[in-house]
Chains A and B, each alone.
Chain A
């Protein structure tokens, strides 16, 4: 079986979501860098992979996919093994819970976290601009409300979808990784179950390997 190809720059947090899945299931993959600085993501070659000109895209034989969470599901399903089942699709109720918390991640968590990430990392590092602290403060307040829901949930189960690790947990890793090296990481410390959950994710070999490859520089 030929390795799958992931098209994205090293730093892409959405691509990291896919790489984490590939690492968790032990699938072979190649990374093909896409250079944003030269506008490669809007080139005809890349638009053929992702018509929205976004990253990542994944190539598996004749199949070309985009949208990191859809790619993640495909990878986790294809390379699933008894020791690496992050979707629990053999159990209707469990897989439904995975899907609920994946939607929460995309609709509640990511929306707020990505605005914070944009202010704290993208603007200063990529545009040499200044962080808008008011936007950060507004979104931190929203994030804390979301984390309060997570705290309540994680006081009842070890992971978000239940007592089993799933894609719903893994999907949170890329943006949270950057957030945790910011001065605002203390909002996690104030919530013991959320903190323990994060530390569990951050201790995984997939986390260490994928985040080492991402750089905030």
Chain B
């Protein structure tokens, strides 16, 4: 309930009953810190609740761990909401997803290290109550193409607990937290019992959509996060490309050309150092590369290549002798 952070909630009543041993009941409702949010939407509360959960090391602490998280900016957060807006029996179904990526430093105290390293416990709520994750939602999670977000799902389990996703090769100190909340935004005038498979399909679809929206939102707000393996390789070329492009500009004996290029880069031509030009070009290149990473996969593969490397290699074997190559001794004296 502390993750949902719903400001208006019915009070739970605890009943004391007599006991010869003199037992007492404890407060079972813990006060929610007053959080003033700009929006009144549930997703903002859910996001704030999960942030608190992470900042307090899964609520093991009463307060934010400032040694691990000097400020909330250390968290990378993405949110996604999927609604079933079509008219019909599923109308009003909402599924909210919040994903937080946090990274602890190497000098983290052992007490701060998460219990499940390399694993994500997916918190699941239905109609404002915590419960075990549903099968359709779990299927949705496992069907997502995590590799397009630079993640590899090794395994998953949901035995008598929240769903547990295990990742491969997560960097040290890197942790992912996920919360899902499914509820009915507005109750229909009449309760209609839907066929199970239809409900499952809708929930699976909503979960996939919400989680992908949250992942995309996280990527968009945080450069260099959740990049595919290919994008990471491409990024590694950025420094060399930047150095060469800076060289083409600065080694030119045409000062007008230099000024023009520097203006395009938003740099002042006077007293500019090559390092500054390189860094500027590198940032531009990384921006382009990250933007490409956020494009849908189908657009990336549809680029028309009339001739690919295979064609060129096939027709290269009988072509020009270039200097430095030796003649085939079996054919030539």
A and B: interacting chains? no
Interface residues of B (CB under 8 A from A): none
